[in-house]
Amino acid sequence: MIEDKNPQRTSLSELGEFGLIEHLTKDFEITRKSTVKGVGDDAAILDFKNKKVVVSNDLLVEGVHFDLAYMPLKHLGYKAVMVNLSDIYAMNATATQITVSIAVSNRFPLEALEELYAGIALACKLYNVDMVGGDTTSSGKGLLISITALGEADEEDLVYRNGAKPNDLLVVTGDIGGAYMGLQVLEREKEVFKVNPNNQPDLSMYTYIVERQLKPEARKDIPGLLKKLGVKPTSMIDISDGLSSEIIHLSTQSGTGCNLYEDKIPLDPQVITTCEEFEINSTMVALSGGEDYELLFTISQDDYPKVKGNPHLTVIGHMTGKDEGMHLITRANTKIPLKARGWNALKEE
């Protein structure tokens, strides 16, 4: 594919704020019965009837949460939606609507924002959510994206972080660590590009983990799967900041301890081989990497036969009494205290 060296660049000032909003949102379709009025008025109108409404918001900032050196804008739009929908699914709820607000500097032409919103539109289509509003404004530096996600659930289906009990089993969906290792590959190739801009990276060996970083998928399927299996988790959280951080959240809010077994942590073979290449411990990657957007939850031991052998679910440990603390049980059968070493956007450099 030959790159267009002189792509069309339409200045955002040509449209103005309201013209920009109208242009970027004109092709979004309304599909949810709960959406009474979407984009185009002072506020959206939603009707959830007898359902409980679930709301979550995330802010993504250029240079903190993403790097446009290797993150295509279409992928960024898609990922920004996934980050928010994952929180809704972590409540055992159904995602229904989103609002999207952006602050953008004058270095971005209209065509760049069209790419961003194309990714948002694709996510809305594939996950059956309506985009019902938002805002645009200028930014003195870079790009900021704020998305609010809304969802619905029957009260009896909602799952919180604070319901785990001692002896409950700790379960994780999918596999862990891919997003972090994908980031390591992309960061390495970025440094190579700085030295030799003519270098074209071959990422074919890293397809899975690069996709886990650039185009993650929220686990929309899990609430439905659990309902089909007849399992209601006692607590649940999504894995955005690393496995250890999320386990500590569940344990702390539930007032329990936990034993996590190193040999039970699900790792994709590509994660293992890439960790070996980078000489990074794969268990540390799983514990501290983050951005996998899998779901971590606890279930009663009585429900174990219902999840046993399911390819989407892995039992990785169990909850204990609070006084026993939170530990990693290593392959050598030694106990190591779990510490939260995951992503912290507010840490000092």
Predicted confidence (pLDDT) per residue in 44-66, tens digit: 687 888 899 999 999 999 998 99
Element (H, E) at 224: helix 221-229
Going by C-alpha positions, the residue among 78, 217, 97 that lies closest to residue 152 is: 97
Read off the amino acid at residue 156. E
39 φ, ψ to 5°? Answer: -70, 145
Count Cβ atoms below 10 Å from residue 228 Cβ, excluding itself: 10
- The pair of structure tokens assigned to 38 is 């979407």
Beta bridge partners of 259: 318, 327
> Residue 2: its pLDDT value, please?
44
d(CA 11, CA 111): 9
> Has residue 349 got a pLDDT over 50?
no
> Residue 17: its pLDDT value, please?
59
pLDDT tens digits along 160-176: 999 999 999 999 999 99
| Average pLDDT, integer, range 24-33 | 74
> Has residue 29 got a pLDDT over 80?
no
Q: Are 102 and 136 in contact (CB under 8 A)?
A: yes
- How far is the CA of 288 from the CAs of 176, 208, 245, 276, 340, in angstroms? 10, 19, 7, 17, 7
Residue 35 CA from chain centroid, whole number: 24
Going by C-alpha positions, the residue among 136, 122, 138 that lies closest to residue 79 is: 122
| Average pLDDT, integer, range 322-330 | 96
| Average pLDDT, integer, range 192-213 | 89
d(CA 268, CA 203): 17
Sheet strand arrangement including 52-61 = 52-61, 143-153, 94-104, 130-138
| Average pLDDT, integer, range 257-276 | 98
Model-level pTM?
0.89
Mean pLDDT score across all residues of the chain = 90
